[in-house]
Amino acid sequence: MAHASTLEPLASPHRLTMLEGVDEGVNTCVHCGLCLSYCPTYSELGTEMDSPRGRIFLIASLAEGRIALTDSVVSHLSLCLDCRACESVCPSGVPYGRLIEAAKAEIERQRPGGPLRRLFRWVNFDLLLPRPRLLGLAASALRLYQRSGLQRLVRATGLLRLLPGTLSAWEALLPELPPWGGGTLPEHVPARGAVRARVGFVEGCVQRVVFGAHNQASVRLLARSGAEVRIPREAACCGALHAHAGERQRARALARKMIEVFERASVEAIIVNAAGCGAHMKAYGHLLRDDAVYHARAERFAAKVRDLSEYLAQRPPVGALGRLPLTVTYHDPCHLVHGQKVRVQARQLLQAVPGLQLVELKEADWCCGSAGIYNLTQPEMAGRLLERKVNHLLATGAEAVVTANPGCIIQLALGLRARGSAMKVLHLGEVLDEAYRRGGVGEG
């Protein structure tokens, strides 16, 4: 295989501990190669070690202690998007997402990087994401940075080029933050009309401070469907970004807290409007499989999790849909289509809107390059995938692209803005909410 000469043997007593238990997953792979043409990084690079099959070979070799975690091995594994497109075409059902997350956790354990990298990860993963108040304060500082004109000055003068590492990529991705206090939700929203269900809603961490309007629209749709909605304040970060970035222990701690919070809420379903969060929460049973106290509770929790499109397709809002003359295309978030196997529901909901024309997007289920924090840690490859995605978006001639994940929204907006396109990036919830508003369903 390509780059085999870079694999450095390692004595088997030094078998990597975080990879214990992956044997069944890697042994499921029959090396057929069907996944290769569906892998974005293999499609771009054409190297075996940057394909699912090649990475499974590396993970198996690491787990068996046959190779060391060299720079080359880390590079190939870290370049994986964890988009899980390979899972959708795998005839053997290889749980690739679980394998790559285990590998990334081992990379973080063995090679956490220098002091600056460790500090940066601590600030984001330990300090900000799990704490809504601190994250809100950070958002306020960024909001001031944007509204004061400092951001325009920094970008115009080229100061971003002086930032170390990938910090310039972080700054370029900053979405326009909403006004102070915008998007705040109450802890309880009553159903409109007869109560048909009692559901919980996850505000999220980034979603809460950046896309509060999407949360508001989502909750209005749920209330219109006859759901009494409970929105626990303590339910902050679900741990998806942590698991995606190899911070497995922190992800487990956040999962336990989320389970406890929604157990107290006593709801029939737990609704999520961020695809990456939904896929992660549906996998809580596996994440906590070795936890005697939480495993069964995690399985019960995961069985209740539903994406917003999934829930609304089964229990559509009551009332007339108003005419919305708009040509849109739809981008499938990876962890919705490949992770949760939810593909048709969003399209069905959009096609039901009078006046709205849905144009299919080429490679609609290919990753846009966001992939958790991938566009921050691997900006070069993320940029290549984004350019490919934007080319397909512009070819549709649509006025807007609709999707259902905050990372995708930020990434697609960046790519379209860079091309000078006026195409809007919309969340499914806000499109449907506007259609019902135009249909005469009031806010009261």
* pLDDT for position 70: 95
Q: Amino acid identity of 419?
A: R
Domain ranges of the chain: 4-110, 321-438
CA distances to 119, 180, 373 from 109, rounded to whole Å, are 15, 38, 18
Do residues 436 and 317 make contact, with C-beta atoms less than 8 angstroms apart?
A: yes
The gap between the terminal CA atoms of the chain, to the nearest Å, is: 63
Q: Quick one: pLDDT at residue 11?
A: 43
For residue 34, the Cα-to-chain-centroid distance in whole angstroms is: 25
Per-residue pLDDT of the chain (444 residues; tens, 9 = 90+): 344 334 444 344 445 555 656 777 888 999 999 999 999 999 999 999 999 999 999 999 998 888 999 999 999 999 999 999 999 999 999 999 999 999 999 999 999 888 988 888 898 899 888 988 888 888 888 889 888 888 888 888 877 777 666 667 778 888 888 876 556 799 999 999 999 999 999 999 989 989 999 999 999 999 999 999 999 989 989 999 999 999 999 999 999 999 999 999 999 999 999 999 999 999 999 999 999 999 999 999 999 999 999 999 999 999 999 999 999 999 999 999 999 999 999 999 999 999 999 999 999 999 999 998 899 889 999 999 999 999 999 999 999 999 999 999 999 999 999 999 999 999 999 999 999 999 974 443
In angstroms, the CA 41 to CA 367 distance is: 10
Which H/E stretch holds residue 381? helix 379-396
Please give the single-letter amino acid code of residue 121: R
**Predicted local distance difference test score (pLDDT) of residue 157:** 83
Q: What is the reported pLDDT for 116? A: 84
How far apart (Å, rounded) are the C-alpha atoms in residues 340 and 360?
A: 20
Of the candidates 423, 439, 404, 435, which has an alpha carbon nearest to the alpha carbon of residue 204?
404
- Predicted confidence at residue 179, as pLDDT, reads 75
Distance (Å, whole) CA 108 – CA 69? 11
Query: pTM for the full model?
Result: 0.91
CATH class, domain 4-110, is mainly alpha
- Minimal CA–CA distance to 387: which of 368, 360, 362? 368
Residues 6+ apart with CB under 8 A from 4: none
Name the CATH architecture for the domain at 321-438. 3-Layer(aba) Sandwich (3.40)
